[in-house]
Amino acid sequence: MSATVGIVGLGVMGSRIAGRLLGSGHTVVGTNRTPERAAPLVERGLVRRDTPRQVATAADVVLSSVSDDAALESVATGGDGILAGLRPGTVYAEMSTVSLQVSQGLAQRVRGLGAEMLDAPVSGSVPQAEAGELTIMVGGGELPYQRALPVLRELGSVVRVGENGQGLLLKLAINISLAEQVVAFGEGVLLAERGGIDRRLAVDVMTASAIGSPLLKGRAPLLVDPTGPVWFDIKMMQKDLVLALDAARRLGVPLPTTTATNDLLTLARMLGYERRDVTSVHEALADLADGR
């Protein structure tokens, strides 16, 4: 029988995750801070609950996907939080990109309740979430990992990295490269444009060349048309870089290009791009070139 899956957080990624699980036949119970976001999923069969506690009480496996440390603390703790509804033996897979300290501290509290928590952040954006092609890195015990695996496999490829926190650490390592690739791509396109080369032509040739990673190919339409959808905004991207830099300081690892990229994202936010997709770094660089 399919597990009943609880999902806390039905935003950009959480809503797609819920949609995949509904499509694969799971009973899905969910909640979101803004209830209207759940309406399209309710039409597809999602059972909406008012609080994270109610979701956790109803579920065999609980997932959460929220924006940052503060949001995770808000949905996980307190009288109406996830922890208040966890039953002994429940597996809680926390899929947000948050700090190692908050995640590991939460995992310890979950174990104290007789349940188990995994950190299970994802690599991929909206298209991968909709297609079930996310990469999911899991930190936590082998037994809860095996119990959550049938659910997580509906969402993409899954690998257990190690103990609690190590899935998150690998996600941060990936997002360093994501940010730096997108920034370098934007710099290259701007250089070509200012030399008289058509933007679309530059993007097409660059993504067909040796630098044409799946990431850049997927993001290319967003750079060609900067008014398009927002998959991963600059504010959220910088949040992940700050988390990576903090982890690096604790581990004694120098991250010079991450530091430079973080500084550029700070500048892009000052120029008004914080809620635009990370590919809009190209537009921020153009503003700088024009002396704005």
Instruction: Enumerate domains of the chain plus CATH numbers.
Output: 4-162 (3.40.50.720), 169-289 (1.10.1040.10)
Long-range pairs for 105-112 at CB < 8 Å and ≥24 separation? 106/72, 106/76, 107/140, 107/164, 107/165, 109/83, 110/83, 110/86
Residue with tokens 């973080």, as numbered in its chain: 262
Residue type (1 letter), 261: T
Reported as a single tens digit per residue, the pLDDT across 142-178 is 999 999 999 999 999 999 999 999 999 999 999 999 9
Q: Cα separation of 284 and 74, whole Å? A: 33
Residue pair 86/117 in contact by the 8 Å Cβ criterion: no
Reported as a single tens digit per residue, the pLDDT across 189-201 is 999 999 999 999 9
Res 210: pLDDT: 97
Report whether pLDDT(1) > 70. Answer: no
